[in-house]
Amino acid sequence: MSAAPFNMLWLQSGGCGGCTMSLLCAEAPDLFATLASANIRMLWHPTLSEETGAEAVELLERILAGEIVLDALCVEGALLRGPNGTGRFHILAGTGRPMLDWVRELAAVARHVVAVGTCAAYGGVTAAGVNPTDACGLQYDGRQKGGALGADFSARGGLPVINVAGCPTHPNWVTETLMLLSAGLIKGDDLDVYGRPRFYADYLVHHGCPRNEYYEYKASAEKMSDLGCMMEHLGCLGTQAHADCNTRLWNGEGSCTRGGYACINCTAPEFEEPGHAFLETPKIGGIPVGLPTDMPKAWFIALSSLAKAATPERLRRNATADHVLTPPKVRDIKKR
């Protein structure tokens, strides 16, 4: 007898749908082949499923009635609590009931609850500014625990909300999380302090960045399109951002920094409110405010001074150009 499928339901709330768009870029194998290989059954997705209207509502009601087992409730987008805590800024079409209420009821019967993307995890861009819709994450409101389900929420499987943060998420972060859950391989200590799966959150975007040689010598870019490190002047937070973007490439070959854009730390709560323009590095006395993770300020100052003094002319020239001006010298290692 074959094992029962791992039933997954996907709902979308306040957001742009970008995590679904990213998910569809899963490749080698594609999304549906990946899910099938792990015996994961997508009960319903508002964009990808054929069922609409009464059929979809009937499915949700059958889940709540216990007729269908819900192994994983995936929510994309922030939960909208406004106005005045009613949640009526987002009504699930055809039901007359706020999505907030549906999510709370479904989360109560789900074995696992997965927040897909930073909006669902912490509020994200949807909660930026004055936050007129009172948007929040499933278990976090920004950096503070709470959110739509409450600080103490645990799903039936014993885990808190699993925050697959990213704006958008990498498709493999989502599929691997679901595959690990279906195999029973995620425990409490497999999540970091913000509930992110550690298989990707224990890494930094800095790891594998093609600009690392420039970073080591503090050979910095001064404008967009320059080849140098973007930390010193252009706001790059890759040395602080928890994600494996440069070792688990996007669409098989890309990442933000590989595309010439600074990392904005989109897997972190409140990344959307840095307090300054994304492409600016705030400084005090010429020292960047956001230092690399685990590096004391005194060390950074000392190492930066030494690195800049030792910067090869090749890197100094190339850092502020949009193409390689001076290539590395060719040396015959047999004549050393």
pLDDT band at 336 (very low <50, low <70, confident <90, very high): low
pLDDT digits (tens, 9 = 90+) for 150-196: 999 999 999 999 999 999 999 999 999 999 999 999 999 999 999 99
pLDDT digits (tens, 9 = 90+) for 11-30: 999 999 999 999 999 988 89
In angstroms, how far is CA 11 from the centroid of its own chain?
17
What the block records as the tokens of 33 is 């082949």
Identify the CATH number of the domain defined by range 204-320: 4.10.480.10
What the block records as the tokens of 322 is 């949009």
Query: Is the pLDDT at 335 greater than 70, yes or no?
Result: no
Per-residue pLDDT, averaged over 190-218, amounts to 96
The residue written with tokens 């840095």 in the block is 274
Which residue type, as a one-letter code, is found at position 197? P
Which residues lie across from 164 on neighbouring strands?
A: 116
Cis-peptide into 29, omega within 30 deg: yes
Among 105-114, 240-249, 284-293, the range scoring the smallest mean pLDDT is 284-293
Give the angle subtended at the CA of 13 by the CAs of 53 and 80, to the nearest 5°: 120
pLDDT value of position 197? 98
Per-residue pLDDT, averaged over 257-276, amounts to 96
The residue written with tokens 């690195």 in the block is 307
pLDDT value of position 294? 83
pLDDT band at 305 (very low <50, low <70, confident <90, very high): confident
User: How many CB atoms lie under 10 A from the CB of residue 127?
Assistant: 27
Quick one: DSSP state of residue 114? E
The helix (run of H) or strand (run of E) holding residue 278 is: none
CATH 1.10.357.10 assigned to domain 6-201? The reply is no
Which pTM value belongs to this model?
0.94
Map out the domains of the chain as residue ranges.
Answer: 6-201, 204-320
